[in-house]
Amino acid sequence: MFMFGTGKFGQVMNTYTPEVDLFEAIKRNKIVYVMLPTMGKDVAAQNFGKMVVGDLRTAISWVQRLPETVKPWPPYLCFFDEAGSYVNASWSRMFEQARSAHICLLPAVQTLANLESVSPELKEMVIGNTWTKTFFKLGTQETAEEAADLIGLEKAVISSLSFTGSQSASAKTANASPDGGVSQGSGLAIQEREDESYKVSPDDLKALDKGEAIVTFGGNNVYHVRIPMISVPESVACEIGKVKLNHYRPRFAQGIDLFRRADSYLSGADRQELGKS
């Protein structure tokens, strides 16, 4: 807690009147963007991400108790990019309870091993409680096979075609007669059988291009989509200008002010020792 109460983290976290309130943001459909410095401060960023998710769980529980007419609609979207770096076992309850609070959870992980490293139960709960699944280019065979299994199988007719041909000629070598025999033969066979195969094979999932994805909806609808890359020209960016944030006056909260009241928490011996120094 000292790490998040001092330094640059403390400039954001060490306040009695926070400007960001997840509960109010969800009710009012506001955008809250949290950037984790995972490259610069790996451990601190992971812990900070877990704290934010913990506060989100509390906010979800509060929204869940609200009347249906007050809950957010359309559903509030929570997108967790690189979720494998700060996921923990408590995520399973969020996926089970967020639907009734009209909150949509969208975690993005590189492989299913990111979820399974926490626990196999967490992976099953996340997969089982997500209605829509999007698969971009996959880099491992195991994840590609699991994704292909999730997309499902379909019955297909496998056909096989075979062709045979023969030709022969014969004559009596010991006889001067020109009598002989010539024969020809050919055959064509077509076979069909019904078999189950992947709707999208693991090799197809590994061969997807940039921006190309396979989307499953409801477990039985499969779509092949391409997501366009949107870039803003510099001239348009200059015309739009910098991002403007709307600030509001926070409520006043009286803090405990530990530094000013430090003497009340020290014993007589500690005071004498500090007085000598």
First to last CA, the chain: 28
pLDDT band at 68 (very low <50, low <70, confident <90, very high): confident
Runs of H (alpha helix) within 68-139: 91-97, 113-116, 120-128
Q: What is the pLDDT of residues 70-125, one digit of tens each?
A: 888 888 888 888 877 777 777 777 887 888 888 888 888 888 887 777 788 888 88
Provide the 10 A C-beta neighbour count for residue 152.
14
Q: Is 104 helix (H, G, I), strand (E, B) or coil?
A: strand
Structure tokens at 54: 């913990």
pLDDT at residue 29, rounded to an integer: 86
For Cα atoms 204, 82, 142, give the angle at the middle one, nearest 5 degrees.
Answer: 35
Average pLDDT, the chain: 78
Q: What is the pLDDT of residues 116-160, one digit of tens each?
A: 777 888 888 888 778 888 888 888 888 888 888 888 777 777 777
Domain ranges of the chain: 1-130
Q: What is the pLDDT of residues 181-229, one digit of tens each?
A: 666 777 777 777 777 777 888 888 888 888 888 888 877 788 888 988 8
The mean-pLDDT minimum among 46-50, 89-93, 168-172, 247-251 falls in: 168-172
